Structure 1
Amino acid sequence: MEFDQIREADTAVANAMEGELSRQQETFSLIASENYVSEAVLAGQGSPLTNKYAEGYPGERYYAGCEYVDEIEQLAIDRATELWGADHVNVQPHSGTQANMAVYLAVLEPGDKILSLDLNHGGHLSHGHHVNFAGQLFEVEHYEVDADTGYLDYESIHEHAERFEPDIIVSGFSAYPREVEWERIQEAADAVDAYHLADIAHITGLVAAGVHESPVGVADFATGSTHKTIRAGRGGIIMCDEEYADDIDSAVFPGSQGGPLAHNIAGKAVGFGEALTPAFQSYAEQVVANAKALGDVLTDKGLSLVSGGTDTHLLLVDLRESHPDVTGSDAEDALADANLILNANTVPGETRSAFDPSGVRIGTPGITTRGFDEAATRELGELIYEVIDNVDDDSVIESVRSRVEELSREYPLYE
């Protein structure tokens, strides 16, 4: 991959881009919300479509010259419809957060009530955290996972909904390692006549491949990111029943965005096309198999996993029992020095600051894209533990980094 054209125009930017490419090639991304897209998706997102304004929707634009943008956006819509089986799909949101914003704008008024998963228990900022727009505009209460099991307590959610009487219940997560029983959340929403928004940002690809149950057709709305487990480039998506189609489309444009990013939509279209192939089905199954293999290694080493394991692409490790003097940030920094990139994360019952929490979140989408199977993942798990167990030992970190560099050449990226 070359940046010759950029270098001719701007050496500083070219140097930084080459540095980032090398960083990605020489490290392994274990951040659960990251992945590596194909070169075809990269080409779509870096295409001349970036020149085109296309406010509106296919066949109903506010600018001339949109015939090819229409074609590409309709391809993205049609492929998403086939992947997830939704009545209506909007592929214009710039991110999963903006997709959630559009749903709120479509069906809520300022001051309405949101019931959602607490951030420290695996939720997301856009579900109503007080520093986010959702927490500033709406009245929000949070449900939690069971303190003993780490699983969602659906009876408790139902009871909480009856007490609080929310206007919308948000399901989904950014750091919950188990399958969500969407029907149980829907039952709670039905009981209080609330909308149900299922945020599948992390598991769009797993749902598309059928390795995680789908909320589409169960919840009123399903939102997601298009760059995590689905590998279709950065952006967002909204799926809903036909009865909400007009309200959702109006809430995206002109309600919360202007012109769509046609080049990003091209990346989505290409990535969705890739996800319709048998190879993607195998990929999604391997993502979950690798996560389980990684969890087995870490558990055998004595680390505590929230909920005891995973059904998805991510693990949440609580370090308080096994390594009480090691914070999530300590582990993140030491692992980064060893070329293993993940993030510190709060855990249920968090006793430290969110800026220096007690856990780490580990995901397998990226390493699976690079070709890891269970055996390779188990070796990586051994290396992760070795660093966590020796965060202050530079010789250990150097030894692990050396092995990671060898593995990065065995599992190359963008050769």
Structure 2
Amino acid sequence: MTHQPKLNALAAADPAIAGLVEGEAQRQHDKIRLIASENYVSQAVLEATGTVLTNKYSEGYAGKRYYEGQQFIDQVEQLAIDRAKAVFGADHANVQPYSGSPANLAAYLAFAQPGDNVLGMALPDGGHLTHGWGVSATGKWFTPVRYGVAKETGRVDLDQVRDLARQHRPKLIFAGGTAIPRTIDFPAFAEIAAEVDAVLVADIAHIAGLVAGGAHPSPVGHAQVITTTTHKTLRGPRGAMILSDAEHAKAVDKAVFPGLQGGPHNHTTAAIAVALHEAQQPSFSEYAHRIVANARALADALLACGYDLVSGGTDNHLLLIDLTNKGVAGKPAAQALDRAGIELNYNTVPFDPRKPFDPSGIRLGTSAITTRGLRPEHQVEVAAWIDRTITAAAADDEAVLDTIAAEIREFLEPFPIPGYSA
């Protein structure tokens, strides 16, 4: 087994880095990858990311550049834009943001002034750092107002969102986050934003692929601005996009360039275009719906093992588990799972009494295992491995972890990954 495409030149020039890349490829092959923000890109996306397009500087936009020699780059970027608009049904697309956090920063720069009130989901309840959390620039430069979930249901408290919006009159309202296992009610958020004359920003970084594949309702037509990463469920390279209606397009573009960035990463833009082309194929919708089916099957299997799922289950790719009743915290559980061949992350849960770096929960996602070919019928076995590992972690039983890792390596052999093959 070796990385594909092969790393012949890299191995000759820098064997240390080549060896680390090969090691990472094998690690990704050998583990059940359940980190909700990760996936496997296709061979085509991998190849596009590693092209000579990385050599070209292209400040500006297609047809309006500050450097010459853009004959092919302009076409690459325009293809990505056209495909983004087609996939999501948006009026406008900007495919230049380097990642999700800069995409969100562009929304602030475009539609708010330093010190303005912004309303976003609290980080411990499932929000993102860039939705106004204190350690982020967005929480330091703007005045954050935070909503959360209802304790009884674990779901977004829309009554609280409305009350806070009326009280604080924010310039921006963020809908979306990083640990929300339930469907986001974009029409309800839009109604609240309209009432207080706020710009609604839908951050769909986690669910973009589900939206593209018709497995989650779209924010288009409800949110004036939509930010997303291009990896995660969308299964593209590490990058980002901003979609908007026509009225807000010019401000978005000015915020990205020259407001926040210089030249775009053209190799990434090309890979985004490839991923969006893949998202236009009928098979992508099947993949998106199977992500949800896998998540629900895994949720049911874990519930049957006595696990406490925030909100009681999932509507998308993501599960958030409170391990308090299992006698182990999230961090040691995640570390034990990694040693046992199951990769996920420790995570705060709503109303968590523990500290963020040592929280009560773990977060799981089914995008990567779905890309790999696992189906709902496999989730009982996956849940059993998770349960055996967490039970071992609670009992400080290290020996069983190696046994589980070997079982998982054997289980995964029939499920190849793009980018690593014989």
Partner of 2:375 in structure 1? 373
The reply on whether 1:337 has 2:339 as its aligned counterpart is yes
The reply on whether 1:222 has 2:226 as its aligned counterpart is yes
Contact kept? 2:301, 2:379, Cα under 8 Å? no
CA distance in 2, matches of 1:406, 1:302: 27
Partner of 1:260 in structure 2? 264
Q: Which amino acid aligns with 1:20?
A: E
**What is the SS of the residue equivalent to 1:229?**
helix
Q: How does 1:244-283 map to 2 (within 5 A)?
A: 244-283=248-287
Per-residue deviation, 1:378: 2.1
Query: Mean Cα displacement is larger for which, 206-215 or 403-412?
Result: 403-412
Q: How does 1:141-152 map to 2 (within 5 A)?
A: 141-152=145-156
Per-residue deviation, 1:394: 2.0
**What is the SS of the residue equivalent to 2:205?**
coil
Query: Mean Cα displacement is larger for which, 222-231 or 163-172?
Result: 163-172
Q: 2:323 aligns with which of 316, 319, 324?
A: 319
CA distance in 2, matches of 1:6, 1:157: 52
Q: Which amino acid aligns with 2:363?
A: R
Partner of 2:69 in structure 1? 65
The reply on whether 1:346 has 2:333 as its aligned counterpart is no
Per-residue deviation, 1:26: 1.0
Q: What whole-Å deviation, never above 9, does each CA across 1:281-302 have from its counterpart, x for those lacking one? A: 1100100000000000100000
Partner of 2:16 in structure 1? 12
Q: Which amino acid aligns with 1:55?
A: E
Partner of 2:415 in structure 1? 411
The reply on whether 1:190 has 2:197 as its aligned counterpart is no
With normalisation by structure 1, the TM-score equals: 0.98
Q: 5+ residue gaps in structure 1?
A: none
Contact kept? 2:127, 2:178, Cα under 8 Å? yes
Partner of 2:400 in structure 1? 396
Q: What whole-Å deviation, never above 9, does each CA across 1:210-238 have from its counterpart, x for those lacking one? A: 11011111111010010010011110100
Q: 2:84 aligns with which of 80, 85, 96?
A: 80
Per-residue deviation, 1:124: 0.3
Partner of 2:124 in structure 1? 120
Q: 5+ residue gaps in structure 2?
A: none
Per-residue deviation, 1:67: 1.0
Query: Mean Cα displacement is larger for which, 155-164 or 171-180?
Result: 155-164
Partner of 1:209 in structure 2? 213
Q: Which amino acid aligns with 1:326?
A: V
CA distance in 2, matches of 1:58, 1:408: 44
Q: 1:155 aligns with which of 153, 159, 163?
A: 159
Q: Deviating runs (4+, > 3 A) in structure 1?
A: none
Partner of 1:131 in structure 2? 135
Q: What whole-Å deviation, never above 9, does each CA across 1:1-58 have from its counterpart, x for those lacking one? A: 2211101111111111111111111112100000000011011011000000011111
Per-residue deviation, 1:74: 0.7
Per-residue deviation, 1:396: 2.1
Query: Mean Cα displacement is larger for which, 44-53 or 2-11?
Result: 2-11
Per-residue deviation, 1:385: 1.2
CA distance in 2, matches of 1:25, 1:306: 29
**What is the SS of the residue equivalent to 1:286?**
helix
Contact kept? 2:236, 2:275, Cα under 8 Å? yes
Per-residue deviation, 1:382: 1.2
Q: Which amino acid aligns with 1:276?
A: Q
Partner of 1:106 in structure 2? 110
Count of residues in Structure 1 that have an aligned counterpart in Structure 2: 413
**What is the SS of the residue equivalent to 1:253?**
helix
Per-residue deviation, 1:62: 0.8
CA distance in 2, matches of 1:181, 1:117: 14
Same amino acid, percent of matched pairs: 48
Q: What whole-Å deviation, never above 9, does each CA across 1:93-129 have from its counterpart, x for those lacking one? A: 0111111111110111100111110000000001111
Partner of 2:56 in structure 1? 52
**What is the SS of the residue equivalent to 2:295?**
helix
Per-residue deviation, 1:314: 0.5
Partner of 1:97 in structure 2? 101
Q: 1:383 aligns with which of 385, 389, 411?
A: 385
CA distance in 1, matches of 2:197, 2:301: 44
Q: Which amino acid aligns with 1:128?
A: G
